[in-house]
């Protein structure tokens, strides 16, 4: 394997971790949306932490090896697809961070309600189905899919 092969493999591995993690988180979040019992919602949010680790690791790998690849292949730093990918990467990270913080608070609320009788709670259901939170998560995911599209089409090369 050449140096380029290694860089590309590690960059793509990072992409699989980020997007795979996002899909995983999506599966658990959708499952949580369909539940009413706080203990079940708390359990599904605890499982989401595995996805969060994968996303964090992948974000690091994609950035480090992506920048390394740009330098190694001699792509111009001002090419449209590279600039847009970096902007979307930053935005997606920021939105994911905000969504993640909210998710943590929801999990803590679900855990508290589970320990206090585990009865369905309108407060938890309301927060779980908050349109702003859902929009934040889906926008973050959409931005990452857009980055994949940029990597495939490479506009501006």
Partner 1 sequence: MVAVVLPNWRVFLHVLGSIVLVGSVGAVVVLAIATKRRPGHSALLSRLAFRTLLFAVIPAWFLMRVPAQLVVDREYPHDSPTWVGIGFSVSEGVGVVILASAVVAYLSAKRGGVGRLATTLALLAPIQLAALAVAWWAMTTRPS
Complex with partner 1: residue 15 or 106, whichever CB lies closer: 15
Contact 113, 38 (CB under 8 A): yes
| Minimal distance, residue 49 CB to partner 1, in Å | 10
Closest CA to 56 of 7, 21, 28, 91: 21
Q: How many CB atoms lie within 10 A of CB 52?
A: 16
Complex with partner 1: residue 16 or 77, whichever CB lies closer: 16
| Minimal distance, residue 146 CB to partner 1, in Å | 11
Three state DSSP letters for 132-152: HHHHHHHHHHHHHHHHHHHHH
Torsion angle of C-alpha atoms 86, 90, 95, 98, degrees rounded to 10: 160
| Minimal distance, residue 65 CB to partner 1, in Å | 11
Complex with partner 1: residue 62 or 131, whichever CB lies closer: 62
Q: List residues near partner 1 by CB under 8 A.
A: 1, 5, 8-9, 12-13, 15-16, 19-24, 26-28, 31, 39-40, 43, 47, 50-51, 54, 145, 148-149, 152-153
């Amino acid at each position: 394997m050449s140096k380029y092969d290694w860089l590309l493999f590690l960059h793509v591995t990072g992409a699989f971790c980020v997007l795979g993690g996002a899909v995983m988180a999506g599966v658990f979040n959708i499952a949580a949306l369909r539940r009413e019992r706080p203990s079940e919602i708390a359990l599904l949010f605890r499982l989401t932490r595995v996805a969060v680790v994968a996303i964090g690791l992948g974000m690091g790998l994609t950035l480090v090896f992506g920048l390394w690849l740009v330098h190694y292949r001699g792509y111009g730093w001002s090419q449209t697809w590279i600039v847009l990918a970096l902007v979307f990467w930053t935005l997606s990270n920021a939105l994911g961070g905000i969504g993640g913080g909210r998710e943590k608070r929801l999990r803590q609320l679900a855990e508290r309600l589970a320990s206090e009788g585990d009865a369905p709670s309108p407060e938890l259901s309301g927060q779980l189905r908050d349109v702003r939170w859902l929009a934040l998560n889906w926008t973050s995911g959409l931005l990452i899919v857009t980055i994949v599209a940029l990597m495939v089409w490479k506009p501006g090369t």
